[in-house]
């Protein structure tokens, strides 16, 4: 087949605002931009999709970390601090992707073709894993660039790109993340990360295959397709 199915779902916090990833070059579609026809560029951007923010948020940056004019409970829910010294944080807009095929590598990367405050003020921390072999909730980790004292995140604007390493067309299929599914995904994430930190991804893949976790998750996905 010339297409591959990628199931996706947002955590319960994002079920209303989370949208299907869109083509990363959508800002230029319809315009007569000559470089879009360049085969080198087209190949580079094939199967690259943009994921936008669920909400508006202005972050103030100083030597003590981040602050915002929102309730502290909101900051606790959506901002994870990895290092105030190095200005490394994570925006907890969580989503999960699972490939129907046995193997499909996916890379989260900086939204280089998106001109917005977040992409200009911050640098995304890239990551790659095989969503046909390993399954976890993902959210964008980033560091704030030097000299930046505020970051404006706007609803719908790109936070990161997802690159799918395949020649096949990507077909996104949404599903509802049931309590059972979220419990499985969260439990797997923490149990594996606590016991196997700093191990190679190949070891994760082997463990997930041995435990038949994908079969369990696909059963729950198919019962909750949207």
Q: What are the sequence ranges of the domains in the chain?
A: 3-222
Residue 128 clears pLDDT 80, i.e. is over it = yes
Q: Six-digit token pair at 203?
A: 């070891």
Listed in sequence order, the DSSP H helices in the chain are 39-45, 72-78, 117-121, 179-195, 201-210, 213-222
Q: What pLDDT, on the 0 to 100 scale, is given for residue 23?
A: 86
Separation of alpha carbons 6 and 28, rounded Å:
25
Angle in degrees, 0-180, between the axes of helices 213-222 and 179-195, rounded to the nearest 10: 160
Higher pLDDT, 119 or 136: 119
Q: Would you say 45 and 111 are in contact if contact means Cβ atoms under 8 Å apart?
A: no
Q: What is the DSSP string of 118-149?
A: HHHHEEE--EEEETTT----B--EEEEPTT--
Q: What pLDDT, on the 0 to 100 scale, is given for residue 212?
A: 86
Residue 17 clears pLDDT 70, i.e. is over it = no
Separation of alpha carbons 12 and 179, rounded Å:
9
Instruction: Express each pLDDT in 139-150 by its tens digit.
Output: 999 999 999 999
Place of tokens 């004019």: 69
Residue 13 phi/psi, 5-degree rounding, is -70, -25
- The domain 3-222 belongs to what CATH superfamily? Deoxyuridine triphosphatase (dUTPase) (2.70.40.10)
Residue 189 clears pLDDT 70, i.e. is over it = no
Mean pLDDT value across residues 112-122: 93
CB atoms within 10 A of CB 32: 7
Q: What pLDDT, on the 0 to 100 scale, is given for residue 60?
A: 96
CA nearest neighbour of 114 among 100, 127, 124: 124
Q: Six-digit token pair at 152?
A: 């404006």
Higher pLDDT, 3 or 179: 3
Average pLDDT, the chain: 88
Higher pLDDT, 195 or 215: 215
Instruction: Express each pLDDT in 161-176 by its tens digit.
Output: 999 999 999 999 999 9
CA nearest neighbour of 116 among 124, 128, 127: 124
Q: What is the CA radius of gyration of the chain?
A: 18
Higher pLDDT, 110 or 206: 110
Answer yes or no: pTM beyond 0.85.
Answer: yes
DSSP state of 94: -
Q: What pLDDT, on the 0 to 100 scale, is given for residue 190?
A: 65
């Amino acid at each position: 087949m010339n297409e591959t199915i990628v199931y996706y779902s947002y955590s319960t916090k994002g079920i209303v605002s989370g949208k299907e990833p869109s083509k990363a070059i959508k800002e230029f579609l319809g315009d007569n931009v000559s470089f879009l026809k360049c085969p080198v560029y087209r190949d580079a951007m094939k199967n690259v999709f943009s994921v936008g923010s669920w909400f508006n948020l202005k972050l103030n940056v100083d030597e003590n970390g981040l602050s915002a004019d929102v309730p502290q409970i909101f900051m606790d829910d959506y901002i994870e601090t990895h290092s105030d010294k190095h200005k490394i944080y994570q925006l907890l807009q969580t989503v999960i992707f699972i490939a129907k095929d046995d193997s499909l590598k996916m890379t989260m990367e900086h939204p280089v073709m998106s001109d917005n405050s977040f992409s200009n003020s911050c640098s995304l921390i890239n990551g790659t894993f095989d969503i046909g072999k390993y399954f976890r909730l993902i959210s964008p980790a980033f560091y704030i660039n030097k000299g930046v004292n505020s970051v404006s995140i706007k609803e719908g604007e790109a936070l990161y790109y997802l690159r799918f390493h395949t020649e096949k067309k990507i077909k996104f299929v949404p599903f509802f993340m049931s309590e059972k599914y979220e419990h499985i995904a969260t439990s797997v994430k923490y149990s594996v990360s606590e016991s196997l930190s700093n191990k190679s991804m190949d070891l994760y893949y082997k463990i997930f295959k041995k435990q038949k976790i994908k079969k369990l998750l696909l059963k729950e996905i198919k019962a909750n397709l949207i």
